[in-house]
């Protein structure tokens, strides 16, 4: 199964940078809100603190998501599809991710997973056909650890 390098680059790099900027804007806005607004009434203070907490939580959540995406995507600035390396190994562990959304393709629902092969972590966008212990051949980018294609090895 093959996946688009451009999809990874758009989502992990550009999407991560956009989310980082939005998170920073929310954070600056919440700090400015805390600094310049002085509510007079007691109910006004409670409402003010509630708004401050909501905006701060949104900004922190966005910053966490952007950092998770940029962790893999920042290396895509210098990497190209031609830099890919082939590896054959056994799947040791499969972990679902929550920071990259799945989508539907002709093969069914495609999810993002962190797959450990030969004690090395790789970022997979794959269908649910991966099983621990399977022997698999992957093409991946060495710095970002993003898998561009994979196929099961049958004996």
Question: What's the confidence (pLDDT) of residue 95?
Answer: 86
Q: Which of 77, 98, 124 is the last residue of a domain?
A: 77
Q: Are residues 41 and 85 in the same domain?
A: no
Q: Are residues 41 and 17 in the same domain?
A: yes
Question: What's the confidence (pLDDT) of residue 2?
Answer: 64
pLDDT digits (tens, 9 = 90+) for 75-94: 888 888 888 899 999 999 98
Q: Are residues 51 and 10 in the same domain?
A: yes
Q: Are residues 124 and 97 in the same domain?
A: yes
Q: Report, as ranges of residue numbers, the positions in the chain whose pLDDT lies below 70.
A: 1-2, 36-43, 98-109, 128, 155
Question: CA 98 to CA 95: how far, in whole Å?
Answer: 10
The pTM of the full predicted model, rounded to 2 decimals, is: 0.72
Q: Which of 26, 44, 77 is the last residue of a domain?
A: 77
Q: Which domain holds residue 67?
A: 5-77
């Amino acid at each position: 199964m093959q996946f688009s390098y451009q999809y990874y680059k758009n989502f992990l790099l550009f999407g991560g940078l956009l989310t980082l900027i939005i998170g920073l804007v929310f954070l600056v806005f919440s700090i400015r809100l805390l600094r310049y607004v002085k509510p007079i009434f007691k109910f006004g203070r409670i409402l003010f603190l509630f708004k401050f907490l909501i905006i701060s939580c949104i900004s922190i959540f966005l910053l966490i998501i952007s950092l998770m995406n940029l962790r893999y995507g920042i290396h895509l600035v210098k990497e190209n599809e031609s830099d890919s390396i082939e590896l054959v190994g056994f799947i040791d562990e499969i972990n679902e991710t929550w920071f990259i959304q799945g989508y539907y393709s002709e093969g069914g629902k495609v999810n993002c997973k962190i797959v450990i092969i030969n004690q090395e972590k790789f970022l997979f966008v794959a269908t649910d056909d991966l099983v621990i212990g399977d022997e698999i051949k992957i093409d991946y980018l060495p710095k970002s650890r993003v898998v561009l294609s994979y196929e099961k090895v049958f004996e």
